[in-house]
Amino acid sequence: MPENFLELKQISKNFGGVKALDQVNLALKKGEIHCLAGENGSGKSTLIKIMSGFYKSDSGTITINGKTKENLSVIESIHMGIQVIYQDFSIFPNLTVMENISLNYELFNRKKLVNWKKIREIAKESLAHIGISIPLDEMVENLSVADKQLVAIARSILYNAKLIIMDEPTSALTRSEVEKLFSVIRQLKSEGITILFVSHKLDEVFEIADYFTVLRNGKVIVTDNASNINNESFIYHMTGRQIKEEYFSTGDTDKSRSLFKVENFSLTNAFEDVNFEIFPGEILGITGLLGSGRTELAKALFGLYKASGKVYVDGVPVRIDSPLDAIKHGIAYLPEDRLTEGLFLRQPVMDNLAISAIDSFVEKWGKINLVRLEKNINSWINKLAIKINKTGDPVSTLSGGNQQKAVLGKWLEIKPKVLILNGPTVGVDVGSKFDIHVLLRDLAAEKKMAIILISDDMAEVLKNCNRILIIDKGRIVNEQINTSLDEEQLTALVINRREKK
């Protein structure tokens, strides 16, 4: 029997004039956890789709359990034991847990009649197999992201899975949810199932992977045992540049001038009596567990929810009842989910970057000055290093990191006085993450803008914020001056607060 479950040899794929994959070789041993890493746009997703039969390669071969083919169909891939869990999980939100796990299995086995008792038994056994308990009759749309993912895993093992590919499986999970997922992955490994774990989170590679492969610009840069790599060299392999992120530190803060202030800010069933103030040169961090009220607070500050209390911008009291009010007073908001809340995915990159400030380009008779607009937008594309083909291409064609930079550029074009960022680097590769952090620090150093960074990424908060507010059950329960905290200490402050309650 061959040691490798799957081998890819000399796989290449072009889209028009763009080479997505260039002579890629990859071997996955039976029962190993292999991490496929790379920045957004490196070719990871294309490679996954070739393995699953969704794309056909232009050249190269695929060998599965000793059988070699030039390409696979989707059905062949499934029959040979390959299951892919994409970032959206490909589950049906309007069906129950039981139906999501079992119905596809019944269809796959050409069952003509629905045996609900059997479907319940299949779902129950599949969840029990991975040691998870989720109510079988619960609608999937009501589940947490973590539980949706576990439903997708439970469904995948019904197809006699020998290789499970997980595409960015931890991008929206809390630390405790990641630990639960890793426990399930290790159990699957113990049963001889191969796991291809696709991620650009370096700490996860070191924690879960046996081997790793790094892709950059469609080429394999390195494949090795995970124990043979350190953080610094891993980042270099991924980005092709040396990145060393230092802690952010500004000079003396001017406490005589308030850039942004809220007093007794409250929203029923979300948060209560929130008070804080930001001074020139500061980045204020707000962190807390899922459900702490941090996202509701961000949205209320932007007028998406109507909260009570007082708000001051540059020392002047303002009323924020809607996003239009917020924009009028110079408040910008980068949302948690750029795809559904931050971008018009089918519209051109140019339109997405211009939309927030479009009125400023309108001249007499309602005509838009396209020359000036293009000049401004191109300046942001250059300043933010947004990698695009043409400004007329849909923004959906950009990688995740470049999409996030486009959302930032859209708001920076209005020259905001207050910039609220909710999870600014979720699903963003290490290179783009570094670029975004550098930009925020440069903006803070100009001392013209109040910046609020809301995140559950403790390292991100620690490295980029002067002060940190911890929110729990809708209340600010702790404030820390970021001088001597480390990640472990901050995590303990956040978690212990919840445990005591």
Q: What is the DSSP string of 221-289?
A: EEEEEGGG--HHHHHHHHHSS----PPP--S---TT--SEEEEEEEETTTEEEEEEEE-TT-EEEEE--
Looking at the domain 257-330+417-501, which fold is it?
Rossmann fold (3.40.50)
4-239 against 257-330+417-501: fold identical? yes
Contact 410, 333 (CB under 8 A): no
**Host H or E run for residue 176:** helix 175-190
Q: How many CA atoms lie within 13 A of 117 on its CB side?
A: 0
| Cα separation, 152 vs 126, whole angstroms | 11
Q: What is the DSSP string of 366-422?
A: G-B-HHHHHHHHHHHHHHTT---S-TTSBGGGS-HHHHHHHHHHHHHTT--SEEEEE
Phi and psi for 275 in degrees, rounded to 5?
-135, 130
Give the list of residues 6+ apart from residue 6 with CB closer than 8 angstroms, or none: 26, 27, 28, 51, 62, 63, 64, 82, 163, 194
Phi and psi for 212 in degrees, rounded to 5?
-145, 155
Distance of alpha carbon 101 from the chain centroid: 25
Give the list of residues 6+ apart from residue 289 with CB closer than 8 angstroms, or none: 174, 456, 472, 494, 495, 498
The CATH architecture that domain 4-239 belongs to is 3-Layer(aba) Sandwich (3.40)
| Cα separation, 29 vs 302, whole angstroms | 50
The Cα-based distances of 212 to 35, 36, 124, 172, 430 in angstroms read 5, 6, 34, 22, 16
Q: Tens of pLDDT along the chain (501 residues)?
A: 568 999 999 999 988 777 889 999 999 999 999 999 887 778 888 999 999 999 999 999 999 988 998 888 988 898 899 988 887 667 888 889 888 888 776 666 666 677 788 888 888 988 888 888 889 999 988 887 778 888 888 888 887 889 999 888 876 676 777 888 888 899 999 999 999 988 867 777 788 999 999 998 899 999 999 888 887 888 888 888 777 767 777 666 777 889 999 999 999 999 999 999 999 989 999 998 877 899 999 999 999 999 999 999 999 999 999 999 999 999 999 988 787 788 888 888 888 888 888 888 888 788 888 888 888 888 888 888 888 888 888 888 887 788 888 998 899 888 999 999 998 888 777 888 888 998 899 889 888 899 999 998 888 898 899 899 999 999 999 888 877 677 778 888 887 655 444
Structure tokens, 196: 């291809």
| Cα separation, 301 vs 453, whole angstroms | 13
Phi and psi for 81 in degrees, rounded to 5?
95, 15
- Identify the pLDDT of residue 501: 47
Residue in the structure block whose two tokens are 């039976």: 30
- Of 306, 351, 347, nearest to 324 by C-alpha is 306
| Cα separation, 54 vs 364, whole angstroms | 51
The Cα-based distances of 229 to 85, 194, 203, 219, 235 in angstroms read 27, 21, 12, 19, 10
Residue in the structure block whose two tokens are 């001017």: 254
- Identify the pLDDT of residue 498: 53
Residue in the structure block whose two tokens are 């169909």: 73
**What are the residue boundaries of the structural domains of the chain, listed by start?**
4-239, 257-330+417-501, 342-415
- Identify the pLDDT of residue 108: 66
